Structure 1
Amino acid sequence: MDEWRTTTSLPEDLLLLCADPGTGRIRQPGEFRYALAGAALAELLAAQAAVLEGNGRLVLLRGAPLGHPGLDAVAAALAGPAAPPRGARLRTCVNRAGRVRSKVYLEVMAKAGLVDRRRRKVLGLIPFDEYTVIDSSIAAARRALVADAVDNGNAPARSLQLAALAHAGELTGRLYPGPVANRTARRRLADLARLDPVASAAHAAVRAAKSAQSSGG
């Protein structure tokens, strides 16, 4: 198995799902930072750097360094409110982890040779970095993991979690366009997100931020 298939983190996998199948350009939906936050929390839980208590509170057991710039930043953001003994509500943790910018994960992938970074300017004035997946098969492999989670009830737990987080970040419409033709798949993704406490909290944060933004406008 190629090394990149086993070394990318869940936040990076989510960003790869954002790649346009035609151009490879990574385009994140609005408020996607909360989906990335949920993915980072899932990685902390998997690494036993944190634990999710039965009362829905996340307790940080081990802070930075964890060996990954993005996860270290998230652990640092949680160090106060999620410290033992009580920890913090999962939604609070998602909100705090959402302060870590996606650029941290994109730069990790750029250094690994998975994406290409180019500096652009909006209206010729405001600089921004555009990231493009170098090998389309990388993003396709991540979409295949989601498809497996949709079609296979016995899919690996990591695939199920990636699919749930993809729905949390509102990628469902991109992965399965058309509310009628892909109704079953879309419903499956929604169910996976609802059953996963981290993805559910991330989805709630995305929706709340969009609602607040809409109300403010």
Structure 2
Amino acid sequence: MRAFIRTDKVRYLVSLLVILSVLLAFGAAWASSEGGHGDSAGKVKDLIWRTMNFVVLAGGLIFLLRKPLAQALESRRQGIRDELDDLEKQKADAEKQLAEYKAKLARLDKEIDKIVAEYVKDGEAVKAKIIEEAKVAAEKLQELAKKNIEHEFQKARQALKAEMAEQAVSMAEALIKKHIKDEDQERIVDEYLTKVVVAQ
């Protein structure tokens, strides 16, 4: 910081000397253009006094404003440094967050793949279970249908037997009525009674 202030002092002094040189050259040129009149000495004195007033005023301003200007410039420089440091920190934080988000995204992709694989696996298991249950249900239905058919067949068979027996009895009765006469009937009754009496 001191080197900065010294550099500024040198700049101010050089600027001041340049201004004085320009003013003196201007004053000398002005005095020579008058052609040696007595009035030119008064003008040169006036110019010198004005130049000295300017130098004293400029020197006083430099002396008084040197520290506040240096502090303001240093404060501004420090503010810029702080802003740059803050921006670097924000950049580092942003890069860190970006890396975290990329990592989360990669993990999320893996999680999604894992979840999809689990759902596919669960779906296959449910599918296999449904197919197995359908097979069992179909077998039960077949067994039930078979039993129902067999039961209905037995019922129909018994009904057919009963109907055939009834028809056979009817036919036999009709044949007997047709072929047996009253004498045959009496003879059969007598034979039956004889057998019953003998059996007792």
> Greater strand percent: which structure?
1
Classify the TM-score, shorter chain: under 0.3
What TM-score comes out, normalization by structure 2 length?
0.18
- Higher RCO (Cα < 8 Å, 6 or more apart): 1
Higher helix share: 2
